[in-house]
């Protein structure tokens, strides 16, 4: 004798069971920390907030010459010359810029106090030892990456629930 078919569960019961299963899957009770190279396919249990600014300080976006704010008006027209007073490599902190001087600066190097712009090296030519001429107009703020421009300290960089 054939058995009578089991009755189907109600829609409300199906939703309830599905919801319980999802809540278990989405629970953050079993969260664990893993290295980023082990996070592929995982789901973030909480927002990730940056503890630092990126970049950590105003810096040069390219190799070139940092020029003083005081000289920007004169440098708006090509042909002006300045004395190269210092050289600033990435990781070095330069001295404050004085009017009439510039600093040879490299990509990522911190911008010295008083800097108004960084001029790419292709727009500068050596006139003599320690003296350079600017061949293109200089615009205030050009080629300076500001502190926190990419990521500001305290900002959310990854969102809870994202799968990575």
Tell me the per-residue pLDDT of 60-81, one tens digit each, with 9 for 90 and over. Answer: 999 999 999 999 999 999 999 9
For the beta carbon of residue 126, count every other beta carbon within 10 angstroms.
10
Q: Among 96-100, 108-112, 115-119, 160-164, which is the least confidently predicted range?
A: 160-164
What percentage of the chain reaches a pLDDT higher than 90?
Answer: 66
Maximal CA-CA distance, the chain: 108
Q: Please state the rounded mean pLDDT for residues 114-134.
A: 96
**Can you give the pLDDT at residue 76?**
93
Cα–Cα nearest to 86, from 62, 68, 59: 68
pLDDT in tens, 2-50: 676 677 888 899 888 888 777 655 566 667 888 888 888 888 888 889 9
Greater model confidence, 140 or 91: 140
The pLDDT score that the predictor gives to residue 163 is 76
Q: How crowded is the C-beta side of 155, counted as CA atoms within 13 Å?
A: 10
Region 107-133: mean pLDDT is 96
Residue 24 to residues 20, 39, 46, 126, Cα–Cα distance (Å): 6, 20, 16, 68
The pTM assigned to this predicted structure is 0.72
1 has pLDDT over 70: no
Euclidean distance between CA atoms 121 and 62, whole angstroms? 8
- The residue-averaged pLDDT of 100-118 equals 97
- Determine how many CB atoms are found less than 10 A away from the CB of residue 85: 17
Alpha-carbon Rg for the chain, nearest whole angstrom, is 29
Model confidence at 141, in pLDDT bands (50, 70, 90)? very high
Q: Which residue, 112, 87, 110, 111, is CA-closest to 98?
A: 112
């Amino acid at each position: 004798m054939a058995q009578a078919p089991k009755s189907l569960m109600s829609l409300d019961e199906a939703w309830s069971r599905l919801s319980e299963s999802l809540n278990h899957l989405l629970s953050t009770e079993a969260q664990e920390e893993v290295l980023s190279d082990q996070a592929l396919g995982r789901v973030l249990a909480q927002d990730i907030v940056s503890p630092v600014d990126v970049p950590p300080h105003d810096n040069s976006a390219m190799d070139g010459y940092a020029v003083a704010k005081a000289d920007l008006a004169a440098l708006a027209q090509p042909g002006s010359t300045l004395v190269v007073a210092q050289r600033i490599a990435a990781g070095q902190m330069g001295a404050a810029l004085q009017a009439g001087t510039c600093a040879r600066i490299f990509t990522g190097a911190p911008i010295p106090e008083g800097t108004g712009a960084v001029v790419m090296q292709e727009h500068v030519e050596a006139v003599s030892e320690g003296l350079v001429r600017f061949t293109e107009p200089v615009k205030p703020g050009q080629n300076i990456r500001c502190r926190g421009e990419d990521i500001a300290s305290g900002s959310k960089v990854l969102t809870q629930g994202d799968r990575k």
